[in-house]
Every structure is written in C-alpha cells, then in structure tokens.
Homo-oligomer: A and B are copies of this chain.
Amino acid sequence: MKRVKKLATPPTFLSYAAVGGYEESLGPLGDAFDLCDPSDSFGQRTWESSEGEMGRSAVNIALTKAGLSHTDPELIIAGDLQNQCVASSGGVASFGIPFLGVYGACSTCTEALLLASLMSESEFSSLTVTLTTSHNSAAERQFRTPLEYGGQRTPSAQWTATAAGAFILTTREELLSDKRGLAKITEVMAGRIIDGATADGSNMGAAMAFAAADSIISFFSSSEVSPSSVDYIVTGDLGYVGSDILRDILKEKLPAAAGRHIDCGTLLYDRCARDVHAGASGCGTSASVLAAYFLPNIAAGDIRRILFLSTGALMSPSSVLQGNNILGIAPAVLIEHFEGGNNL
C-alpha cells in the first residue's frame, strides 16, 4: 500500500493569514502576523468566543487579501481544541460556507490542508478555506485549571498559543494569473495513531515525537522525494523536549532527515525573553507559523520545499485522569515553490 499521494492537480495557496494574541505579538514572528490583539479578547466577553472571533478575523483577512467575498469559497474545513470544536463552528457559522469539521488535536492544520487538497483532487471544491485556532485562556481552563488558580507548570509543559491560521487553496488558474510566486501542496499522507508511551499530560511533546518520527520515515519511504531534497522538515508543536526526542530517533533511523528538522513550537516565542517553558503548543501554533513565516518565504522562493507535519496529542482531560497513554498523530503535506504567472 502506497501511503503518499502525489497530487495530479496540486492546489495553490491563494492567500493566508495569521492572527495572534499578546504573547505572539512579542515573539520573533510578531511583526509577520496580520493581526495581534494585545488583550487576547478580540472584543468578546468569553475566551471561548474570543477564539471564534480570532478565527473569523483570520478568514476575513485571508479573503480580503485574495480579493474574495465570503460567498466565493465552496467549502471551509476547520478545527480547534475546544470541547466539541465550538470555536470553529461558532466562528465561521455566519459565513454560510459549506462546512466540514475536523479534529486532529494539534495536527488539525495539516489534516485540514490534506483534506482540502483531496477535495480539489476529487473536484468537490476548487476554492477551499481551511482554518485552525487555539486560545491560551480557553485551553488552560478547559484542559488544566482556570488561569486565576495560578497552577505551577512543569518544565516540559508548553504554552498554548493564542493563534489562528487561515488558508485559501485553489486550483482555479484564473485566480493565480497575477501571482509572482506560488506555494503549492504537491503530496499528502495521512498519519497513523502512535502510542506515545507516556500518560503525562504535561509532556505532550514527548508523546507526539514518536508519531512525528513514524510519519517522517513513512513519508520518505513511500515518496520519490528524498530528505536531502527538502529545505526543512517542519513539525507542529513538539517544542524543545519533543524536538530533542525526534532528532534522536531520526539520527538513528533516518540521519539525512535529522539535520533538516525544525519545529514551529520553537519558532513562535523567544524563550530567553518570555516564560514559555518547553515552547509553543496548540493547533494555532503550526497554523500561524506556516502562514506568517513559511508560506511567504516559499512563495518568494527563499525556501523551495518543505515537508510540513503538524503533530497532534490525541487525549482529553478525562483520558489523562483515567491513566490512558497519550496517542500521537502527524499527517504530512509537501509544500513547494512554483514560479507564478508573470514569470512564465
């Protein structure tokens, strides 16, 4: 069975937007975000609604950049970390765009991009929006304790990003004619669920590292693309702890991949300046870093090709309290630079 699908009609990122909160504005990518609200509230009266509004803003910014209205997309694929994914559904309801909800924990951004690619491949939608969000204050009180409780965090714990990434993918040539550089998804692979061999809900990076390793090794054994032909192997939010584990595994099993690894959870914040422990997490991490950093650089041609794998920890507060191991998953998409219409 061939795991990797090489797309016959690779969809192009028509536009994208990264929206964040206070911590994100202070990070090294802060200036590259399209919008950061220092209050984290986005004008809403609950953190849960703030996350929905943050996502809605990201979609609106991406639509505006592309010169589209909210009636143009044929489909929106969205997910988040809130119970029953209400940030996504509540956030995008007013657009009236046909909707598919996905849940892949912090792997959601890549899962949605994979599905959007296959939606164009199957000719179901030629103009698809994907949206992924997470919100620190909504996540902390849902997964751990309310912020007011002031719980002490362990060094392996990560800081859930208040961040959203929205992406518009299209196969419609007429929308791309004035683009000078393009980023396209050319290959996709779904992830397997891998037992992270830990039940420690404060060390999700360690739990997810094994799934990332499984997917990276599976991808390069199934694709014609080699590790040495990609500029970066980008994982989602392993953070500092999980990244060290992943690189140890890769050094042993696929050395050519180890040196190309970089993790969005280590890119979003400046850990010397801010108390973010083991780095960023939350499914907005990889989504916002992709939108704020990787895609602009790929479109410009400064980065030519990345393997992008958001990493998810499939657990709930109940499953952790019941002593279940944390399960990891890491779907993958290959994103490449193409010359745009004006350069041809």
Binding site for B on A (CB under 8 A): 1, 3, 5, 46, 48-49, 74-75, 79, 81-86, 89-90, 92-93, 96-105, 111, 114-115, 118-119, 121-124, 142, 188-193, 195, 314-319, 322, 324, 327, 329, 331
**Residue of B192, B314, B318 touching A98 (CB-CB under 8 A):** B192
Contact, CB under 8 Å: A84 / B81: yes
Complex contacts, A315 vs chain B, CB 8 Å: 84, 86
Closest 3 CB pairs of A and B: A98-B190, A121-B122, A122-B122
Complex contacts, A142 vs chain B, CB 8 Å: 318
Contact, CB under 8 Å: A48 / B122: no
Contact, CB under 8 Å: A48 / B90: no
Give the distance in Å from the alpha carbon of A153 to the alpha carbon of B190 in the complex. Answer: 42
**In the complex, how many angstroms separate the beta carbon of A147 from the nearest chain B beta carbon?**
15
Give the distance in Å from the alpha carbon of A82 to the alpha carbon of B115 in the complex. Answer: 23
Secondary structure at the A interface, as helix, strand, loop or mixed, is mixed
Complex contacts, A93 vs chain B, CB 8 Å: 193, 195, 314, 327
Give the distance in Å from the alpha carbon of A188 to the alpha carbon of B84 in the complex. Answer: 24
**Which of A5, A75, A123, A193 has the most CB atoms of chain B within a 10 A radius of its CB?**
A193
New contact pairs (7) apart from A48-B319, A83-B317, CB-CB < 8 Å: A75-B190, A98-B190, A98-B192, A99-B193, A99-B329, A101-B102, A118-B119
Give the distance in Å from the alpha carbon of A328 to the alpha carbon of B160 in the complex. Answer: 29
Given contacts A99-B190, A102-B103, A115-B100, contact A123 B318 (CB under 8 A): no
Give the distance in Å from the alpha carbon of A93 to the alpha carbon of B207 in the complex. Answer: 14
Give the distance in Å from the alpha carbon of A245 to the alpha carbon of B189 in the complex. Answer: 43
Q: What are 16 A-to-B residue pairs whose CB atoms are below 8 Å?
A: A46-B322, A49-B322, A85-B314, A89-B193, A89-B327, A96-B193, A97-B192, A99-B329, A100-B190, A101-B111, A103-B103, A118-B119, A118-B122, A118-B124, A121-B122, A124-B188
